[in-house]
Amino acid sequence: MTVLEQPGAYAPVPPPSWRPRTDAAPLLPDAEPYRVLGTSTADREATGSHAGPDGELLRRLYAAVVHGRRFNEQATALTRQGRLAVYPSSRGQEACQVAAALALREHDWLFPSYRDTLAAVARGLDPVEVLSLLRGDWHHGYDSPGTRVAPLCTPLATQLPHAVGLAHAARLKGDEVAALALVGDGGTSEGDFHEALNFAAVWQAPCVFLVQNNGFAISVPLAKQTAAPSLAHKAVGYGMPGRLVDGNDAVAVHEVLCEALARARTGGGPTLVEAVTYRLEAHTNADDATRYRTDSEVEAWRAHDPVTLLERELRSRGLLEEKAVREIEEAAERQAAELRERMHQDPPLDPTQLFAHVYAEPTPQLRNQADQLRAELAAGEAGEESR
């Protein structure tokens, strides 16, 4: 008979450090997505919102989503012209991307996924540099430490643990820095998602997770990924607040993210935000979306377009005149024209960069391969000169 089998020898008493959570209710999201645009003052007061969005913020968000819409259109066209290898459009999701960028402070960090090019541009990065990776370059194109924007991440959700690690390090150092990590609904099915949220909650890391639920992980609908009432409900399992927001309402997304980031910076820990949105374009230019969704579904979401929602709010409050609309659209067109011109210029290529930054100390095999390449390039140049 073992010690545990002896009567009275073992009492299943939890250790003093373990306490059951009895305060789960405050962590649960609202039953319906939080929204601001198109709601009445009474509705906003009932949900704890302010009397109405600030006019200056409305104008900033509107200008940014109009620029973002034109950026998406131009980048999509560049794939058809062979200037981009692939482009995952965020058309229809501009509110999420713009609100994320504008909610950050200068010293905060953004951890984007491959679809979040617009968020990086709205953060202030050079559009050509942001598109470098999608162009097929060997690096992601911009200075991450200088811009505080991590590389666009193609593997699903692998940027989330990185965001938690950076946020945790900042907290240990005493820096008032928050990390905002963006991920799609498909990324929530990855192990990295679980690991990141678990560590963030245990460490109380100043990290906010924004899930852009656009309905499909390529062609897989959300119902085939999870049985949870919403993705925001997953937060309670990790011990952090979950927020559910209308992802096409730029003001609502901005408000929720600002609150979550402020909470993170002041020691309140992480938050999981689910923004319910929709990608109007296919997954990428290599995808045929008609195989898994109907035109009527897409048209229904066009009626809830983020650009239209903002414009309607501004016009109803007398904050947007036709002249201002034209000026914003013309500025967006100039940005698109500059992007088009610069992307049609072939970048200078140095094949020997293939061997740079592979190892701190190149291996003998790598040095031999580099020497062979240089010899081939020299022979090619000599042949051209002799013609």
As a whole number of angstroms, the distance between CA 332 and CA 339 comes to 11
As a whole number of angstroms, the distance between CA 55 and CA 53 comes to 6
Contact between 62 and 314 (Cβ < 8 Å): yes
Domain boundaries in the chain?
Answer: 25-37+50-343, 351-386
Q: Concatenated DSSP letters for 318-367?
A: T---HHHHHHHHHHHHHHHHHHHHHHTSPPP--GGGGGTTS-SS--HHHH
* pLDDT for residue 280: 94
Contact between 208 and 270 (Cβ < 8 Å): yes
CA angle 69/67/306 to nearest 5° reads 50
Q: Catalytic positions, please?
A: 279, 283, 292
Torsion angles phi and psi, residue 82, rounded to 5: 80, 10
pLDDT in tens, the chain (387 residues): 444 445 544 445 555 555 555 577 889 999 999 999 987 655 555 555 555 678 999 999 999 999 999 999 999 999 999 999 999 999 999 999 999 999 999 999 999 999 999 999 999 999 999 999 999 887 888 999 999 999 999 999 999 999 999 999 999 999 999 999 999 999 999 999 999 999 999 999 999 999 999 999 999 999 999 999 999 999 999 999 999 999 999 999 999 999 999 999 999 999 999 999 999 999 999 999 999 999 999 999 999 999 999 999 999 999 999 999 999 999 999 999 999 999 999 878 888 888 888 899 999 999 999 999 999 998 887 777 766
For β-strands 207-213 and 216-217, DSSP reports them as: unpaired
* pLDDT for residue 45: 55
* pLDDT for residue 3: 41
Categorise residue 325: left if φ over 0, alpha if ψ from -120 to 50, beta otherwise: alpha
Amino acid at residue number 151: P
Kindly report the CATH number that applies to the domain delimited by 25-37+50-343: 3.40.50.970
* pLDDT for residue 4: 43
* pLDDT for residue 1: 47
Q: Which 3 state secondary structure label does DSSP give 39?
A: coil
